[in-house]
Chain A
Amino acid sequence: MEPREDFEAFARARWVPLLRTATLLTGDAHAAEDLVQETLARAAQRWSVVSSAGSPEAYVRRILYTRSVDAWRWRRHQPDPVEVTERLGSRSRDHEVDADARLTLADALARLTPKQRAVLVLRFYEDRTEVEAAEALGCSVNTVKSQTRHALARLRALAPELAPTFGRTEVRR
């Protein structure tokens, strides 16, 4: 398959999963779409290297997480937590999870640092090990551990009513 066709097939197949992850990382649908587009453009820039690695997904996700944490523009455009709450929380009011809990969680997530958010998404949304999370973020395993601990502690402080969700069992994972 030609590199271009290969890239286009990959982008179409992974667009939605990447967008969901980016939404958790940015807390904003528009910013998430910008982040995914930036990520895919960077992947396209080096597609011959990315595709030859055998696992383009892993490489693209590393770009996604690195950009979400490092890039000043994502940080500069950090959405207002209230706005995030409205966007993330209102999208699925009819979902089985309680709408109030969803609003609270979205609000608490928005108040974390980008790196804390990225660690939580990697560890609990994508179910990655600490080693895999460290590799994706380009940091040490100890950093992942400490960031996870701090993020969960902050979530417990911000949303004590969701304490069972952020319980101590999460830390030991």
Chain B
Amino acid sequence: MTSSPLGSALDGLVKDVRPSAGPPVEALWAQGARRRARTRLGGGAAALLALALVAFVSWPSLSQPAPPTTPQPAQTVAPDTYPSVLAHPYFAADALTAHRAMTVAVLDGSTVYTIDSKGTAWKLPGSWNQRSYAALSPNGRWLVDGRRVYDLVKGTSASVVQPGAPDDTQLWAAWAPDSAHYARAYEPSSDVVVSTPDGTQLTIPGASALEQVTRGSMVMGGWLDDRTLMVAYGSQSEAAMEIQTWSIGDDSWRARGQLTYPETLNLTSTVAAVSPDGRTVAMSASDTSRIDDSALVTWDLAGLLSSGQPTPARIVLLHSRYSVDGITWRGGTPLVTVSGHTGPVAGPPLVGSTAGFAGQMSWRQDAFAGSPYWNSAAVWRARLVVWTTIPLALFGVWLLWRAGLWVARRLGIIDGPLPLRFDLAWWRR
């Protein structure tokens, strides 16, 4: 067998090797057959498991309640639960097929998700960059995103009236407490449009008169009651906002006084909310005297409206470098959304979220009237998607690789059995 000195030496070492008995061929064949069966069984089980996993995380109906076959009336009763965790619905069904009032809307990038009181999520159809907001009505039935208004109970949608200025951008939308009207604001025209969910646009006095007395930079807005809209404009003095109100049917705005704040505050106009009782207004801000410190600023609106005297701000530093993504109310207490977590400014959050699920959040008015609800199916779906994406992708690549080799061997492109393992040496040969 060998011709070299080392070869001869090696041959000499084993030349006299004699097995004590012959090969147990029957046992070896049986062992091979058992392994063959186990491999096939294991491969089949792994494939089935992978399929089940993919189906579980990607087929919404497997973990979501079936929608009612007939449209439901508007849900006016407060939900008895709210989701304790918002789970990212990577493969959510169309929100217009849910036919139910929702608890919260999440604007994640340019995609809007709606989530019901038990943490089940749906995705709003369409995805475009112009979505500046996704405002859920206080009763959870309607949602307006700047282009369309959606009736989540009936499963319909309609375009909203756009203002005249073509270069206007959308600032914010605010719903009246009874969900019967919503206001949308635009800049730089400072236009305010008030509509009903069925598309009727109300006649509202123009903002030009306001601009004569203000700097013309609209900051925020909200409803003091079902018929009274409030807007805040940046004042000519740097650290104050002029408050104007307009009631449905009136032919002019009323100047109501000033809200003041420290010059070190940089207010975030798109994250603001008036309390359901109309007595308090809250805004997100950053404190420029500190590095990366967000703040929640509140003003006593009731005091301002009754006295007309400038009202100072109450400031609560959040000690967070993340900005506030939403403000809602529980009774008279503001709740803030930061990095996907919603809760009071002090104390643990009421609602958490799975990894990577964050964005502007808009809650229905009575969202927190009930008790927390843990939707384990939704949470596990989100976790499994994160945990299994890479392994499933690798498994898929491996399956394709093996299938390709099998086909290539069948077609005679390559000869011999499949390699014992994947390696570059085999590939390069």
Contact = CB atoms under 8 A, between A and B. Distances in A.
Given A42-B32, A44-B33, A166-B6, A23 B25 contact: no
Interface string A1-36: 000100110011001100111011000010001001
Contact of B420 (A24, A63, A88, A125): A63
B48 interface: no
Contacts of B31: 41, 44
A95 B14 contact: no
Contact of B19 (A33, A134, A139, A167): A33
A9 B423 CA distance: 31
A91 B17 contact: yes
Interface stretch (B135-143, B213-221, B331-339, B411-419): B411-419
B249 to A, nearest CB: 84
Contacts of B415: 53-54
Contacts of A124: 2, 4, 6-7, 10
B425 to A, nearest CB: 5
Nearest to B36: A45
B29 interface: yes
A11 B420 contact: no
Given A46-B36, A49-B417, A101 B9 contact: yes
A105 B13 contact: yes
A7 B29 contact: yes
A138 B26 CA distance: 30
A92 B16 contact: yes
Nearest to A44: B32
B10 A120 contact: yes
Interface string A122-160: 001111000000110011110100000000000000000
A44 B28 contact: yes
Contacts of A135: 425-426, 429
Interface of A: 4, 7-8, 11-12, 15-16, 19-21, 23-24, 29, 33, 36-37, 40-47, 49-50, 52-55, 59, 62-63, 66, 88-89, 91-92, 95-97, 101-102, 105-106, 109, 120-121, 124-127, 134-135, 138-141, 143, 162, 164-167, 169-170, 173
29 contacts: A7-B25, A7-B29, A8-B26, A12-B23, A16-B19, A19-B17, A20-B15, A23-B13, A23-B17, A40-B25, A44-B28, A44-B33, A45-B33, A47-B32, A49-B418, A53-B415, A53-B417, A54-B416, A66-B421, A88-B14, A92-B12, A105-B13, A124-B7, A143-B425, A164-B5, A165-B6, A169-B4, A170-B5, A173-B4
Interface of B: 1-19, 22-26, 28-29, 31-33, 35-36, 39, 415-421, 423-426, 428-429
